[in-house]
Structure 1
Amino acid sequence: MIMNFGMNIEMDIINEKEKKPQLLIDLKGEPGKDCNGFCKFCYFRKVNYNDIFPFGCKHCTFQIGCEYCTYSVREINGDFLPLPFALQQVQSALFFNRYEKVNITGGGDVSCYPFLEDLCRCISDMGLKIHLGYTSGKGFKDLNTAKNLVDYGVDEVTFSVFSTNEELRREWMNDKNAKTSLECLRHFCENCEVHCAIIVVPGVNDGEELIKTVSDLVNWGAKAVILMRFANKTEQGLILGNAPIVEGIKTHTIEEFKNLVKRIHEEFGSKIRVSGTPLYDPITNTPFAISYEENLLNKLKNKIECEATIITGNVAYPFLKKIFDETPVNIIKVNKDIADLITAKDLEGINLKELSDTVFIPPRAFVHDRVAEEILTKDGEKRMILRGVEQLTLDGEVSGIYTKKEALEFELEAFNELIEMINFFGTKK
């Protein structure tokens, strides 16, 4: 998911480049409760959990609302699992498949899981390596915890850093043991493959603070760092009715953030892999690396035979506009930066006169199929409303394992699939 929900996405489960399966173990847990308290910038802070409503999504069947768009989107997972239940997930999975590594994750912070060392020791006894899927280190009691985890087979860690400045971590991450967290991070960097995440809050941990943090990570031996734009407005992704998360913070524009990622890459890119979300990856040129390849673009455009409309968000719009320029496909954006976070309310603002007879909405948009059809045909015109290709490009959270050539190959396959859909369902020009 290309959102600031943390680092827990599909690529944590399978390394697409190396095709090595990882068994995902979900410890459950919830933000704010199972992470030693909300970080100031947390996507879920200020959410009113007493007023739960379903968005609707592609997983819904006959009625609006399913487990995913009602509860999972809010990380309502329940308490951490007891140790026997977590181990049962591993043992049951091993009956049917072979795995090299177990990815331990959850809705809370896995460093706060009270049985983490015991769990890792048992998994190690099964002969499996371990990836700590997401942690900020806030739950680690002392440096020995990190040392023990490495001894028990942890060789890969996804770590939410924010800053290597202890005071900033105490204030903004609610990290009462900031020194210990950073000591553990350093030990992981020296002994594991560590991918770091930094949510960048303007005027807080950017500028010289960001330079110092990335410099520390480089010196400690981290493999990669992803810069994540702080979201503070509904259009930036806060669809849970909790905007603004922090009063008085003016967040980076899309272009400002891209330039920030570029500057960090230029300074540190020779020593650590730098990428950003919602954009961009300076190595692969993603998202939409194909938009820079005129030869490939012309080949794609020549395949388009029918008219259609694609609805998207602010980040993807200029790229898709260029990719489908001078074709029968028109691109329409709504005021939502991330297309996957488009809701029914966003669709209601579209000028229906601009729509073709065939309309593609983002596959992961939070709107029920029936509702999308009702909104986009309320002018009385008959239109076919479809969900497009699941993933057209790579977000910074996953692009770090790809080369530029591999990223282009991924996009070529995805856009060819989309063009096939356009030609099959669209209107002949």
Structure 2
Amino acid sequence: MNFGMNLRMDFEDNKKNKKAQLLVDLKGEPGKDCNGFCRFCYFRKANSKDVFPFGCKHCTFQIGCDYCTYSVREMNGNFLPLPFVLQQVQGALFFNKYDKVNITGGGDISCYPFLEELCKYISDMGLKIHLGYTSGKGFGSLDIAKNLVDYGVDEVTFSVFSTNEKLRKEWMNDKNAKTSLECLKYFCENCEVHCAIIVVPGVNDGKELIKTVGDLVDWGAKAVILMRFANKIEQGLILENAPIVEGIKPHTIEEFKSIVKEIHETFGNKVRVSGTPLYDPVTNTPFAIAHEENILNKLKNKIECEATIITGNVAYPFLKKIFDETPVNVVKVNKDIADLITAKDLEQINLKELSDTVFIPPRAFVHDRVAEEILTRDGEKRMILRGIEQLTLDGEVSGIYTKKEAIEFELNAFNELIGMINFFGVRK
């Protein structure tokens, strides 16, 4: 029986332990099931009444599916009752073998009222637990963190923002900031903790960021990912809620990259540092192969046909270099993250720049039919296709890869893309 919880076996190809994880989605929604919105939350101020579908690769004959209508807005409904969760966990374990259970949700899982009971149940089955993205705002006492560790929690992904209690209270709406940080410290000392920090200019960057990362290193955190604060449509706010915070100008792409580099140079010998939308100083991703001339030359020699690749601001300079002096031209729209390109972005493209074969980002929020209508509205016949699902590694996943593994990942992806170009493109 399916009560709407997304349960699946997630084989995380993390190169280090390749363990099968059962992903348990507790549902819940931002702002409602997280003790209130953080000031910087991507979903704050989003209109939940007049919901419209973007269209996406999952849509079939009509524009709109659950993913591009509701999931993109994290409109998941309330947290699931514990009996429903337990029933589906038990059912999943009956048919498949797992090494760990990854508990996640649209709300903050630290606010799930039955989290301790759920973890104890899973622990009694002999399985370890990964607490997915949580801010700790729901932990009312340090004893909760201690109990969770006793119940098998050995990995935690924690949204930190700052180790400054005052900033957490103000910017994360964290009424129990001291307790949240105590729990974080305990997890760092007893688990593998991956910390996420959304960096807001003039608030928790600069000396505050140095202090926060320094605290996390002292406590024993294993990894820190810096996440650029988005406040404009072109930075990814596609839910008609920009700006999230008035008067704040986010870091540019290059400014943010410099921050990641500085933190890595300061703490990289003690903790793995990466950033999103860029970059990972260890793997040199995204698009590590853009810096490998020998690899680039071999790839370019394989390209036999003309095509156009549409992308965003972050990927553009890398793809431009990778496909330089080939029959493939790269066109960008004013959206930093290619996966968040919508129909409105495609409408701004100069159609004269397009070849007869056009690749759009596979995860772009636009229906296939709409994309074709927009990109052929000048009367020219063009084949509109979605490209390879993932050409490179984002900072959120690159931290478990070595540089060699990251390059191998990209090589496989680009070889697949070039195969599509040579098959669907027009021979030069």
SS in 2 for 1:196: strand
**Aligned pairs for 1:141-160 within 5 A:** 141-160=140-159
**Aligned pairs for 1:232-311 within 5 A:** 232-311=231-310
Q: Could you say if the C-alpha distance between residues 79 and 108 of structure 1 is closer, same or farther in structure 2, counting changes exceeding 3 Å?
A: same
Q: What amino acid maps onto 1:20 in structure 2?
A: K
Partner of 1:5: none
Paired with 2:57 and 2:13, the residues of 1 have a C-alpha distance of 25
1:345 to partner: Cα distance: 0.2
Paired with 1:347 and 1:360, the residues of 2 have a C-alpha distance of 12
Partner of 2:110: 111
SS in 2 for 1:302: helix
1:12 to partner: Cα distance: 7.6
Paired with 2:287 and 2:203, the residues of 1 have a C-alpha distance of 30
TM-score by length of 2: 0.97
1:135 to partner: Cα distance: 0.5
Partner of 2:201: 202
Structure 2 residue runs of 5 or longer lacking an equivalent are: 1-5
Paired with 1:188 and 1:341, the residues of 2 have a C-alpha distance of 33
Q: Say if 2:5 is the partner of 1:14.
A: no
Partner of 1:4: none
SS in 2 for 1:308: strand
Partner of 2:98: 99
SS in 2 for 1:130: strand
Partner of 2:44: 45
Paired with 1:11 and 1:91, the residues of 2 have a C-alpha distance of 13
Q: Could you say if the C-alpha distance between residues 35 and 77 of structure 1 is closer, same or farther in structure 2, counting changes exceeding 3 Å?
A: same
Q: Say if 2:313 is the partner of 1:314.
A: yes
1:268 to partner: Cα distance: 0.2
CA offset digits 1:276-310 (Å, max 9, x no partner): 00000000000000000000000000000000000
SS in 2 for 1:34: coil
Paired with 1:306 and 1:282, the residues of 2 have a C-alpha distance of 34
Partner of 2:192: 193
- Identity rate, percent: 86
Paired with 1:54 and 1:62, the residues of 2 have a C-alpha distance of 13
Q: What amino acid maps onto 1:394 in structure 2?
A: L
Q: What amino acid maps onto 2:371 in structure 1?
A: A
CA offset digits 1:256-293 (Å, max 9, x no partner): 00010000000000000000000000000000000000
Paired with 2:401 and 2:101, the residues of 1 have a C-alpha distance of 22
Partner of 1:360: 359
Paired with 2:104 and 2:96, the residues of 1 have a C-alpha distance of 19
1:324 to partner: Cα distance: 0.2
1:95 to partner: Cα distance: 1.6
Paired with 2:80 and 2:87, the residues of 1 have a C-alpha distance of 11
Q: What amino acid maps onto 1:386 in structure 2?
A: L
Q: What amino acid maps onto 2:256 in structure 1?
A: F
SS in 1 for 2:102: strand
RMSD, aligned α-carbons: 1.2
Q: Could you say if the C-alpha distance between residues 12 and 240 of structure 1 is closer, same or farther in structure 2, counting changes exceeding 3 Å?
A: farther
Q: Say if 2:153 is the partner of 1:168.
A: no
1:11 to partner: Cα distance: 12
Aligned length: 421
Structure 1 residue runs of 5 or longer lacking an equivalent are: 1-7
Conserved 8 A contact 1:11-1:398: no
Conserved 8 A contact 2:30-2:106: yes
Q: What amino acid maps onto 1:14 in structure 2?
A: E
Q: What amino acid maps onto 2:324 in structure 1?
A: D
1:90 to partner: Cα distance: 1.1
Partner of 2:386: 387
Paired with 2:47 and 2:9, the residues of 1 have a C-alpha distance of 30
Paired with 2:157 and 2:227, the residues of 1 have a C-alpha distance of 14
Q: Say if 2:138 is the partner of 1:134.
A: no
1:311 to partner: Cα distance: 0.1
Q: What amino acid maps onto 2:79 in structure 1?
A: F
1:88 to partner: Cα distance: 1.5
SS in 1 for 2:95: coil
Q: Say if 2:32 is the partner of 1:33.
A: yes
1:142 to partner: Cα distance: 0.3
Paired with 2:274 and 2:10, the residues of 1 have a C-alpha distance of 16
1:201 to partner: Cα distance: 0.1
1:16 to partner: Cα distance: 3.1
Paired with 1:227 and 1:206, the residues of 2 have a C-alpha distance of 10
Q: Could you say if the C-alpha distance between residues 244 and 13 of structure 1 is closer, same or farther in structure 2, counting changes exceeding 3 Å?
A: farther
Q: What amino acid maps onto 1:77 in structure 2?
A: N
Partner of 2:3: none
CA offset digits 1:34-80 (Å, max 9, x no partner): 00000000000000101100000000000000000000000000000
Conserved 8 A contact 1:361-1:386: yes
Conserved 8 A contact 1:164-1:216: yes
